[in-house]
Amino acid sequence: MTPAPVPPPAGSRRWAPWILLGLLLVLPYARLLTFRVVNLADDIFVADLLGGELPARAAMGRALRSGHLPLWEPGVYTGYPIFASGGALDPISELLFAALPPAAAYDAFLLLMLAVAGFGAARLARVLGASVPGAMLSALVWAHGGVLVSQWRHLGVLGTVAWFPLGLSLVDEALGPRSEGPRRDRALVLFAAVVGLQALASFPQSLYACLLAYGLWAVVRALDASRDARGRLLALGRFTLACMIGIALGAVQLLPMAELGGLSSRHGGLTWEFATHWRYWPPNLLALAVPYPFGDVSDGTYRGRDIFWESHGYLGLCTVPFALVALWSDRRRAVWVLGALALLGLLFALGPATPVYRVAFALLPGIKSFRIPQRFLFVACGALAALAGLGLTRAERWWSGRASAGTSRITALHLAAAAVAITALDLGLTQPRQNPLSDAGAWLAPPAALRSLASEPVGRLYSMESSAVHQRAFGLARGWSDLAPYRVARELIQPNANLYWSLASPDGYAGLITREMEISWGAMSPTHDGIARGNYRTERDQLVPQGGFVRFLAMNHVTHVLAPSPVQSQRLEPMPSGSWARLYRVRDPLPLAYFVGRAVAAPTDRAAAEWIFSEAFSPRREVLLHAAPSASLPPAPEPGAPTLVEARVARPSNAELIATVDAPSAGWLVLAESWYPGWTATVDGREAPIVRANINQKAVAIPAGTHRVAFVFRPRSLARGAMVSGLALVCLVASAAFVWRRRPLLSDRA
C-alpha cells in the first residue's frame, strides 16, 4: 500500500518549500541569470558545445529569424541536412534560439532544464509517498548530480533526459493504485506530451533508454494496482497508446534522423567492438557515492580509462545510504522496481564488463544503433535519486516514532532539513566545476583571421590540424582549469564554430553524417580520417600537402586555408592573419557552380578518390559521376572542347539555389555542395535528375546554351514526419480537450 504524503500546510506556507527548492536549484549556477555566459567544458579534441551544438543551434535560430525552416546548412560539410540533426525541430530549442542571441538562448535552456529536472524528480518522489524534504532531496540529487551536470555540453541528451523522472511520475499516476477516471486520463495525455518533447529533443539513445524504463515501470505499476487481468491489459494498452502518440509527435524529427542514419556508416547497426569502444570503467562505481576518487577531468587529474563526462555519476554523500535505507525498509513493489531500474541501468552502463549488455545487444531491437553504453547510466541515477527521497522519508518516520512526544516532529524535520542542506552544499561545491561559465562576448567574438578576410570574397575556409591543436590546448589547460590555451586555439577556427559568423567551411562536427561526407572530410570515428585530412603530413614543423590535396580543396570551393604551422605548397599564397595562425589564399579555386563538358564514370568511391588525387584528373575539364542514368548522359565533347565556365549563383535561402550558366556545348553543371536525397533540380523549368558527382557533389546534365538551373531542397522524410506528427498532435489536443472538460463520476470522487 502506498503511504499518503503528509498534507501540506495551508496558505503561503504551502509554496515555501518549492520556492526554496527553486532557489537551491539555481543558486550554484546563478551566473546563468545574466543570460550572457557560455559553458567552456571541453572534449579533448573538440568542444562538443562551443564548437559543436551551440553554433549549429545558432544557425538554426538565424534561419528561423529569416523566415525559413532550418533544413539545409551550407556552412558545414559543403552542405549538411541540419533538419536531421538532434534538436533541429525541438520546439523549446527553436523558440529560444530564434528569439534570443546564442548565449542567452543557451542559458535560458539550461535554466528551463534545471526546473524540469528538479521539479520532475520532486513530483516523482511525492507521488511515491515521500515527504517534502525527501522530495527536495530527490530533486537536488537528480538536477545537480553528475550525470545531468555532465550533459550541459550535449543539449540533445539534456533535453531528453531531464524529463525522465516527470515521465515516471505520470506513468505512476496513470497506472498506479490511485489511477482512476479523469486523473488517470490527464496523466496519460501529459505523459504522451512528455514523450513527444523527448523525441523532438532528440537524442535517440536516451529516448530509447527512457522508453525501456517507462515500459518496465508501467508493467509493474499495472500489476500493483490490484486489477483483474482484463483491467491490467487495458491499462497497459492505454500506456502503449500514449507512448505511440508521443513517439509519433517526434516523427518530424525522428524520420529525417533515421534517413540520415541509413546513409551513414552506422547503417545496418554498429559492430560490438565499435559500439563498446568507449566503455565504463568499473572502478567508477565508487564515484557514485564519493566525489572524484580517481581525479577530475576539469583540472586534468582524472586517471580513469573511460570518457569522464560520459561516466560521471556522482550523486552526493547522502544519496546511496538513503537509497539503501529505502530498499531495506520499504517493502512496496514500486521501491523494488526502482532498485531494479538502478541495477539494470548500472549493468547496461558497464557494457562489456558484464554479460548483461552483450545479451541485450544481441536481443533488443534497435540497440545496435547506439554506442557508449554508459549513456544508460542516467536510468540508474534517476532511480537512485527517487530512492534517496523515499529513504529520507523512512528515516524521518523512524526518528519521529522513537523520539520523545512533543518534540519528535520538529527533531525529525530538523534532521531531514540537515540532509537536504548537506546535499545541496555537497553538490553545489563539487559539481559546478564541470561547467565553467564565462562571458560569452569574449568567446563568440570573431577571431582575428575573419578581420583579415573582411576585404575579399570568401568561399569556404578550411582549418588544417584543428583537432590536433585543440587536443594540445586541452593538455596545456589541464582540462579547463586554465582557459588561456583555448583563447589561443580559437584563432584556428574549429569545425562548426564558423557558423557563429556565417562563414562556410568544408569541414564539420556532427554525430551523424553521410558516408560521402565521411569519405571526404572524416568523422568522429577511430577508423576513418577522410581523404582531406589523410593527404598531408608534418615534416620539420611544416605541413606538406601530398598529391592533389590543394586541388581537392579548390574543387570544393575552398578559397582560404588556416594552419597552425607553415604549409609548403605553391598553390597556397600566404596572407596576413592578425594572429599566430597561418592564413593562406588558395590560388585559382573553383567556383561554387560551374559547367564542364566531359564526364567520367566512377565505379566506386575508392576509385573516384584515387582518380581525384591523380595528376590525370582535371576538375576544370571533367566531372566524376556515380551511378549516372545513361539517358541523362550528354554526348561526349570533342577533344579541345571548352573548359570550365563559371555559373552565376543566387541563393534565396539555404534550401534554394539558382545557377545561371552559358554552356558552350552539352555537358554538366556541377554544384560543389553535398549530395543528399530530397534535392530536386529543374533546367529552364523542366525537372532534371541530380547525379552524385566527385564523391560528394551534385551534377545536372544540360544542353548547349544559356540555362537557368534551380535547386530546391524538399526532403520527403520531413514531409512524412510532419504528416505523422501533425496527426499525433491533433489526437493529443483532442484528447486533452475531452479529458479536461470531462467531469469526474461519483466513483471517481470516492
Question: Residue 310 corresponds to which amino acid?
Answer: E
Residue 628 clears pLDDT 50, i.e. is over it: yes
Question: Residue 150 corresponds to which amino acid?
Answer: S
Q: What secondary structure, in 3-state letters, does 572-629 show? A: EEEECCCCCCEEEEECCCCCCEEEECEEEECCCHHHHHHHHCCCCCCCCCEEEEECCC
Same domain, 581 and 603: no
Lowest mean pLDDT of 81-95, 171-185, 505-519, 567-581, name the range: 171-185
In a domain, 680, yes or no: yes
C-alpha cell at 607: 576509385
Planar angle of CA 36, 39, 44, nearest 5 degrees: 155
Which pLDDT value is given to residue 642?
A: 58
Q: Which residues contact 314 (CB under 8 A, 6 or more apart)?
A: 145, 146, 287, 288, 289, 290, 291, 292, 427, 430, 431
Q: What is the mean pLDDT of residues 629-644?
A: 55
Peptide bond preceding 202 in cis form (omega within 30 of 0): yes
Split at pLDDT 50, 70, 90, the class of 141 is very high
Split at pLDDT 50, 70, 90, the class of 83 is very high
- Specify the 3-state DSSP secondary structure of 273: helix
Same domain, 606 and 631: yes
Which pLDDT value is given to residue 402?
A: 66
Q: Which of 225-229, 519-523, 616-620, 666-670 has the highest mean pLDDT?
A: 666-670
Lowest mean pLDDT of 253-257, 358-362, 521-525, 600-604, name the range: 521-525
Q: Which residues contact 382 (CB under 8 A, 6 or more apart)?
A: 121, 142, 164, 165, 168, 213, 341, 345
Residue 718 clears pLDDT 90, i.e. is over it: yes
Split at pLDDT 50, 70, 90, the class of 12 is low
Q: What secondary structure, in 3-state letters, does 32-98 show? A: HHHCCEEECCCCCCCCCHHHHHHHHHHHHHHHHHCCCCCCCECCCCCCECHHHCCCCCCHHHHHHHH
Lowest mean pLDDT of 27-31, 139-143, 452-456, 527-531, name the range: 527-531
Pick from 122, 95, 114: nearest CA to 152 = 114
Same domain, 600 and 577: no
Split at pLDDT 50, 70, 90, the class of 409 is low
In a domain, 364, yes or no: no
Split at pLDDT 50, 70, 90, the class of 473 is very high
Dist CA 330 CA 3 (whole Å): 10
Q: Tell me which of 525 and 311 has the higher pLDDT.
A: 311
Residue 133 clears pLDDT 70, i.e. is over it: yes
Pick from 497, 43, 511, 31: nearest CA to 257 = 511
Residue 320 clears pLDDT 50, i.e. is over it: yes
Dist CA 116 CA 98 (whole Å): 21
The structure's pTM equals 0.93
Split at pLDDT 50, 70, 90, the class of 640 is low
Which pLDDT value is given to residue 631?
A: 40
Same domain, 572 and 463: yes
Which pLDDT value is given to residue 410?
A: 64
Which pLDDT value is given to residue 749?
A: 43
Split at pLDDT 50, 70, 90, the class of 456 is very high
Residue found by looking up cell 551511378 in the block = 627
Q: Which residues contact 723 (CB under 8 A, 6 or more apart)?
A: none
Domain that holds residue 621: 594-713
Q: Are 86 and 257 in contact (CB under 8 A)?
A: yes
% residues pLDDT > 70 (the chain): 93
C-alpha cell at 599: 564526364
In a domain, 39, yes or no: no
Q: What is the mean pLDDT of residues 12-38?
A: 93
**What's the structural domain count of the chain?**
3
Same domain, 682 and 736: no
Same domain, 579 and 692: no
The radius of gyration computed from the CA coordinates of the chain, to the nearest angstrom, equals 29
CATH number for 601: 2.60.40
Listing DSSP states for 242-259 in one string gives: HHHHHHHHTHHHHHHHHH
- Which helix (H) or strand (E) segment holds residue 698: the answer is strand 697-702
Q: In DSSP terms, which residues pair with 683 in a beta bridge?
A: 686, 709
Same domain, 479 and 512: yes
In a domain, 369, yes or no: no
Which of 586, 615, 642 represents a domain boundary (last residue)? Answer: 586
Residue 662 clears pLDDT 90, i.e. is over it: yes
Q: What is the mean pLDDT of residues 397-425?
A: 79
Which pLDDT value is given to residue 522?
A: 84
Which of 567, 586, 605 represents a domain boundary (last residue)? Answer: 586
Dist CA 119 CA 380 (whole Å): 18
Which pLDDT value is given to residue 299?
A: 92
Q: Are 478 and 299 in contact (CB under 8 A)?
A: yes
Same domain, 548 and 655: no
Same domain, 459 and 505: yes
Which of 544, 559, 586 represents a domain boundary (last residue)? Answer: 586
Same domain, 520 and 635: no
In a domain, 308, yes or no: no
In a domain, 618, yes or no: yes
Fill in the DSSP letter of residue 320. Answer: H
Q: What is the mean pLDDT of residues 409-429?
A: 90
Same domain, 451 and 498: yes
Which pLDDT value is given to residue 533?
A: 79
**pLDDT tens per residue across span 213-257:** 999 999 998 887 766 788 888 889 999 999 999 999 999 999 999
Dist CA 331 CA 336 (whole Å): 7
In a domain, 696, yes or no: yes
Same domain, 721 and 708: no
Mean pLDDT in the chain? Answer: 91
Lowest mean pLDDT of 91-105, 307-321, 509-523, 734-748, name the range: 734-748
- How far lies 43's CA from each of 303, 409, 473, 605, in Å? 16, 48, 11, 31
Report the sign of the C-alpha dihedral through residues 376, 382, 388, 390, in that order. Answer: negative
Q: What is the mean pLDDT of residues 408-423?
A: 84
In a domain, 432, yes or no: no
